[in-house]
A and B are shown apart, each in its own frame.
Chain A
Amino acid sequence: MRLGLAAAAVFAATAATAADRLGDVEKGAAIFAQQCRSCHEIGEGARNRVGPQLNGIFDRKAGTAAGATYSRNMVRMGSDGLHWTLATLDAYLANPRALVSGTRMSFRGLQDPADRADVIAFLREYSAMPQNIPESAPTARKTPPGIDPAVLDIKGDAEYGEYLAQECTTCHQRDGSDRGIPSITGWPEEDFVIAMHSYKVDLRPHPVMQMMAKRLSDEEIAALAAYFGTLD
């Protein structure tokens, strides 16, 4: 990969910020058990109780879990465009009523940002539906489990990558539009490699992308990444 020095520094900085924002899943699980579970279920077979079940909360439009009971304000805010992301969940957990006045959730909030980050990291475990490429808000995560960091270091064959990249544009729009299918323009190289490996191991959901990624060898993914390095 041919990242310039300055670019590499910026990249490292962004990556670190993204990583910092995700907390500790295990600590989050403990907090969830203490403070949330009396009203919310999460995980396999989770049902709505006093509050909605929380599977797939990321990117869910507020007030739309099927069959759950919501305040009118929560539903209205959802229609107005409130979606659960890292940022909105963080704000809501910090002070529920500040974000959604009139919410049915009678919870004072978690004052400590680290606690909120932990709970959010825990929630995300049941929400692996990244809607956008690259690995971005709301479900960003630096290096997905199950991926050998060594694959990130493979030097790719850019010319081969250019050929392989032709297959992408049958669906992904060259002008960067993300109507219906995510845009893949302006994609950091390393994120691309991670995303493709995530598809390969079925961590990212989508049958077409899982299929496309599975037929690519590690070298071919690196070749694609190397090709990106030749683009403006």
Chain B
Amino acid sequence: MGLNRRVFLGTMSAAAAALSAPRVLGQARPRVVVIGGGCGGATLSRYLAKDSAGAIDVTLIEAQRSYNTCFFGNLYIGGFWRIEDTAFGYAKLATDYGVNVVHEFAVGVDRDAKVVTTGSGATFGYDRLVVAPGIDFKEGSVPGWDLSAQDAMPHAYKGGTQVQLLKAQIAAMPQGGVFAMVAPPNPYRCPPGPYERVCMVAHLLKQSNPTAKILIADPKESFSKQGLFEEAWERHYPGMITRIGPDMGGKAVEVRPDTMEIVIDGEAQEVDVCNVIPAMRAGNIAAIAGLTNEAGWVPVDPATMATRADGAVFALGDSTQQGDMPKSGFSANSQAKVAANVIRGQLTGSRIFPAKYSNTCWSLLAPEDGVKVGASYEPTPEKIASVESFVSQKGEDADLRRRTYEESLGWYAGITADMFG
């Protein structure tokens, strides 16, 4: 690099860091407890610890030692990504940024006393609490399915073993067998996720089991990037994929895990793999903490990500009800930066800047055939509102699609480094 170059995203010089070192309000070092170390919680922990340079005591309570990203789980199913490469640990957050990482389940939140309790009975007091537990499933949303059926009929909608199980089941399908998917109702994590998954399953089957069929039972009239997905299904996997929408019975679906049957419009059909993606709600702990509305999500202030229920408690990512942003890793990461800036300002007096949010979701349709959708957002008093958006177009040339796919690889490296350091 020549003399005229400055490193855009490098380490700040010691002098600059000292200048921006925050002033601590009050005597005690303020404490922030974060529940959930996914896209929202890991990002927030890293930024808060980094930018406060030790002035804030950050504790991250995360149940798992290793986080498997949901994103690129579909690419793993399609054979484009290794499961090992979806796994990330928390060591750097602890050693490089000074985050106190606690691998336990948070089981209780006492908002009056401002204390979080974990499974072992340990307690963590906080000045600000951040809840970012992702999603759990709504009981009874798909009759016949509950969590005890997740081995027979995986959801594969949380990262890691469920996704591996689904891939193994696809590999074991008999020639000409049927892969069924029960798609979720809105709102749910990763709007294009189920349909990208269908592409990846189709890609896999096209090579190993070309006479197999894919059946989607879908309670929604329409879905994200629908035109692009349907064009891709027609082009890359003709005759393989059937989607049954709500008017044809896609809404009232029942499953029978014991006999591997799916009942659509009263008619039972035996299938070989059944990927049940139930309706979703905020991760359990949000309800335990008394932060959720009737729909099961955590309403938040669009300008700060503070919960509507409690100004000392913030929520991020999939668990929130914020307005127009999709439930995506990108969104959770974007929200985390806004909340980190606000919390740091509240606790140390550093400047609080206006909220800016954005999202882009890439999907892979077939080898080197990538598409994307995205938008920028800003807070209004009622919600986080979409300002501008774009989506890939049908019929784009192969080179642009290849570049779009390559972009998604870059994004994956970027966001995971942004979360875990």
Contacts and interface: CB of A to CB of B under 8 A. Distances in A.
- Do A and B truly interact? yes
Interface stretch (B270-278, B289-297, B412-420): B412-420
A227 B10 CA distance: 11
A181 interface: yes
A230 B16 contact: yes
Contact of A167 (B358, B388, B390): B358
A105 interface: no
Contacts of A228: 6, 8
Contacts of B11: 231-232
B407 A231 contact: no
A169 B9 CA distance: 8
A51 B207 CA distance: 39
Query: Of residues A6, A165, A178, A228, which shows the largest number of chain B Cβ atoms within 10 Å of its Cβ?
Result: A228
A187 B8 contact: yes
A212 B377 CA distance: 10
A160 B353 contact: yes
Given A211-B374, A214-B388, A169 B414 contact: yes
B190 to A, nearest CB: 16
Contact of B409 (A179, A188, A232): A179
Interface stretch (A7-15, A71-79, A113-121): A7-15
B403 to A, nearest CB: 8
Interface residues on A, range: 35 or more
Contact of B47 (A166, A210, A212, A230): A166
Interface in B292-348: 330, 333-334, 337, 341
Given A175-B417, A228-B8, A231-B7, A186 B1 contact: yes
Contact of A11 (B4, B9, B418): B4
Nearest to B15: A230
A111 interface: no
B12 interface: yes
Interface in A164-222: 164-175, 177-181, 184-189, 192, 207-208, 210-212, 214-215
A231 B406 contact: no
Given A7-B3, A186-B8, A207-B374, A230 B13 contact: yes
Contacts of B8: 165, 168, 184-187, 192, 228, 231
Contacts of B413: 173, 177, 179-180
Given A169-B417, A175-B417, A185 B410 contact: no
Contacts of B387: 215
A192 B406 CA distance: 23
Nearest to A189: B6
A168 B1 CA distance: 21
Given A167-B337, A211-B388, A7 B4 contact: yes
Contacts of A8: 4
A170 B2 contact: no
Interface in B1-54: 1-13, 16, 20, 47
B411 interface: yes
Contacts of B3: 4, 6-7, 10
Contact of B9 (A7, A163, A172, A214): A172
A229 interface: yes
Interface residues of B, number: 46
Contacts of B66: none
Contacts of B356: 164, 167, 215
B351 interface: yes
B74 interface: no
A39 interface: no
A188 B6 contact: yes
Contacts of B284: none
Contacts of A169: 9, 414, 417-418
Given A164-B356, A186-B1, A181 B411 contact: yes
Query: Of residues B1, B330, B341, B410, which shows the largest number of chain A Cβ atoms within 10 Å of its Cβ?
Result: B410
Contact of B333 (A10, A164, A170): A170
Contact of B4 (A3, A208, A231): A3
A159 interface: yes
A231 B12 contact: yes
A224 B417 CA distance: 21
Nearest to A181: B410
Query: Of residues A160, A189, A208, which shows the largest number of chain B Cβ atoms within 10 Å of its Cβ?
Result: A208
B408 A215 contact: no
Nearest to B5: A186
A177 B406 CA distance: 13
Contact of A170 (B375, B378, B414): B414
Contacts of A231: 6-13, 16
Nearest to B351: A159
Given A171-B410, A215-B387, 10 more contacts: A163-B353, A165-B9, A171-B411, A179-B413, A180-B413, A185-B7, A186-B1, A208-B360, A215-B356, A232-B6
8 contacts: A160-B353, A172-B410, A174-B9, A181-B414, A211-B374, A211-B376, A215-B356, A215-B376
Interchain residue pairs A-B with the least CB separation, the first 3:
A180-B410, A181-B410, A11-B4
